Structure 1
């Protein structure tokens, strides 16, 4: 790493959020340096994209690369009830007849490399194997970072804005004690990968399948990927999955018995990866920005993976933050009010997806809801594909509340 003019922006972390925010700022002619502590490719969970990622990928110049990739094409999602009844495939194209309605099931190690290389191609100065030890402040204003470079030398890199995209181990969320756990969505997950598992054919081959446990205490994801691999994981309350259990492998096997549709699908398959687990799920930072600093992606918050919104929220937060930062750099204003101006609208959208997640766990019958309010079919679909950032969609939740109230006994 050689000394050079200080960048306008420093980004901590090279995942989808970091690659997005850095690329979009660099596209506007500003110097951006990105520091990633690992050497890509590296493993990461989160394989399923939803259609609304299309628009950010388009701005990033990633669409052609995605279309020419070997990632499995995803056209739909399908739900399986506790009794094993399969819903009809939920085709995105039916609601939005546009190429954005076809998305992908990705291998994150490959996708993240593609995103990071794309950032570099568009002018971002990317450093891997570089650890950021601290964010530097002058009073309340972030002014740069303290790093250890590839040679082991410690140095300071000054910048007008520091973006923390370092994931769930976010430096700034911990420094300022900003993390707010979501007690209602205190979940965990256990997962692994299989080769040779059953998959549907044709347009349905790449569908994400959400399968409820027989006792309704959780659900399995079933995500077909390239190379005849399927990602399979169970999500349930933290206490249910992790307290009083022997180990993760045993728990996974026990929950497979609680979801015979999954067991049947992998009956002739070979497990090709260790069982993994995560115990810290839904949380959010109490603020997304301060003077000279911003949190994006998982560094700001993470939402339960039920509707595969993780990468979309990472890309969207990166996009919104980038636009606010560019505007701030143009005006010479890197205050919290300027570079965090996107937070309120983003949180509103995130809350809409969270509400859909909570409704699923509470057993709300979406089929019954659509039969009663057929004019909401398109709006519910919009929410599920990640088109979350429109206030008119709140009418859906108003009518969910009215439907629930109508069923409640009179006090």
Structure 2
């Protein structure tokens, strides 16, 4: 390996954010290197996608590969709120004009992420698997490359005009610059696992709008004391089940992750029944300190994308959509820099941060309000009221399908004739 290696862009991380950025840059003719520390395929959470992904997949040129994989079709989301029946079923097909297609997928992230990484290599990205980035190189305040090498070997300098940090929760640059900021209001912990043989509803028995796709499902979200449960059917008779809990509350449910998970499931009659004949297929996994937002997402010569910039609570399945969108937006900003006399200044990249913070801000407002509803156990909340209000329902569905540039929390409150003081909208 030559110490004089130089690239137009160096991308740290091979998840959806990093591969999206790398693909866009490579398709534009740029010399891109991407470093991925892990051996693929590897397990990852974030299995419920959104219809807004179709636009991103088309831009990446990966639509046909996603379709051909045979992932489980997701037609919407179903909310079980405080054991009030009926549940709130929200289907993208009710308002199909907002998105390229009124459905999306539940994916095994090990395979989904590998499809994107393989596609990046096919597009000309120099993909270096099982390579670790030890540090980001700076000249003053400007990023000029990385120190990287194969796992378990000494790193060497590799220079690049632009560094895109997609290192996930490791947040390599943000930690180096002390930009990481926790969100105390979202101090949650998630315990989750896969199960074999969990219950699946027949879509013809509960999907009541538009075309019913055979074998399709919804993402189920059910409230419990101290948090909520996700239920995400996947291929091969596997279902992903997770409990997201207030960290302090979780301590009262048991000493181990398995004990806390079991107690959460036992508190939800619906999910407990669905798993009665299922077999747990893996040890419980845990993500703690779920919420954080970095102080900045850019600087001279670098941008932060995906979980390296912030980590979003999983309740509305926004993570992968925001990650891919941030990667695409960062690549757009880098290409603008190349087109303007190689201007990779913080001033140039500030447009990227403004562009991605708008959809991030809108989903975070929704998340904050979700937890306020749970804390107050509000039996007249705007999610339940969307069953009777067509305008409120439409705006909810668009937002929860990933249309963050189309609907704001303020518009949702207006549709629900809800005073803004009732919810957090700042």
Moved over 6 A (4+): none
Displacement of 1:402 in angstroms is 4.2
**Structure 1 unmatched runs, 5+:** none
Equivalence map 1:3-402=2 (5 Å): 6-83=6-83, 85-97=85-97, 99-149=100-150, 152-202=153-203, 203=213, 205-213=216-224, 215=225, 217-242=226-251, 245-331=254-340, 332-363=342-373, 365-367=381-383, 369-370=385-386, 374-390=390-406, 394-397=410-413, 402=418
Provide the rounded CA distance (Å) in 2 between the counterparts of 1:42 and 1:2.
Answer: 29
User: Which residue matches 2:206?
Assistant: none
8 A contact 1:130–1:148 mirrored in 2: yes
CA deviations on 1:29-56 (whole Å, 9 max, x unpaired) are: 1100001111211111111101111111
**Partner SS for 1:346:** helix
Displacement of 1:171 in angstroms is 0.8
Provide the rounded CA distance (Å) in 2 between the counterparts of 1:324 and 1:257.
Answer: 48
Provide the rounded CA distance (Å) in 2 between the counterparts of 1:341 and 1:209.
Answer: 36
Provide the rounded CA distance (Å) in 2 between the counterparts of 1:312 and 1:39.
Answer: 23
Give the direction of change, closer, same or farther, for the CA distance of 1:374–1:328 in structure 2 (3 Å limit).
same
Provide the rounded CA distance (Å) in 2 between the counterparts of 1:372 and 1:93.
Answer: 17
Displacement of 1:405 in angstroms is 5.0
Displacement of 1:335 in angstroms is 0.5
**Structure 2 unmatched runs, 5+:** 204-212
Give the direction of change, closer, same or farther, for the CA distance of 1:275–1:395 in structure 2 (3 Å limit).
same
Provide the rounded CA distance (Å) in 1 between the counterparts of 2:416 and 2:185.
Answer: 19
8 A contact 2:36–2:128 mirrored in 1: yes
Displacement of 1:389 in angstroms is 2.0
Provide the rounded CA distance (Å) in 2 between the counterparts of 1:196 and 1:34.
Answer: 38
Displacement of 1:380 in angstroms is 2.1
Displacement of 1:148 in angstroms is 2.1
CA deviations on 1:329-355 (whole Å, 9 max, x unpaired) are: 111100012123121232121121112
**Partner SS for 1:43:** coil
**Partner SS for 2:6:** coil
Provide the rounded CA distance (Å) in 2 between the counterparts of 1:396 and 1:88.
Answer: 16
8 A contact 1:223–1:232 mirrored in 2: yes
Q: How many residue pairs end up in the alignment? A: 405
8 A contact 2:365–2:409 mirrored in 1: no
Q: CA RMSD in A?
A: 2.2
Provide the rounded CA distance (Å) in 2 between the counterparts of 1:154 and 1:360.
Answer: 44
CA deviations on 1:378-397 (whole Å, 9 max, x unpaired) are: 22221111111247664334
Structure 1, 365-374 or 333-342: larger mean CA deviation: 365-374
8 A contact 2:174–2:308 mirrored in 1: yes
Displacement of 1:154 in angstroms is 2.9
Give the direction of change, closer, same or farther, for the CA distance of 1:94–1:179 in structure 2 (3 Å limit).
same
**Partner SS for 1:65:** helix
Provide the rounded CA distance (Å) in 2 between the counterparts of 1:300 and 1:205.
Answer: 33
Give the direction of change, closer, same or farther, for the CA distance of 1:185–1:115 in structure 2 (3 Å limit).
same
8 A contact 2:382–2:416 mirrored in 1: no
8 A contact 1:218–1:236 mirrored in 2: yes
CA deviations on 1:258-278 (whole Å, 9 max, x unpaired) are: 111111001011111101111
8 A contact 1:205–1:224 mirrored in 2: no
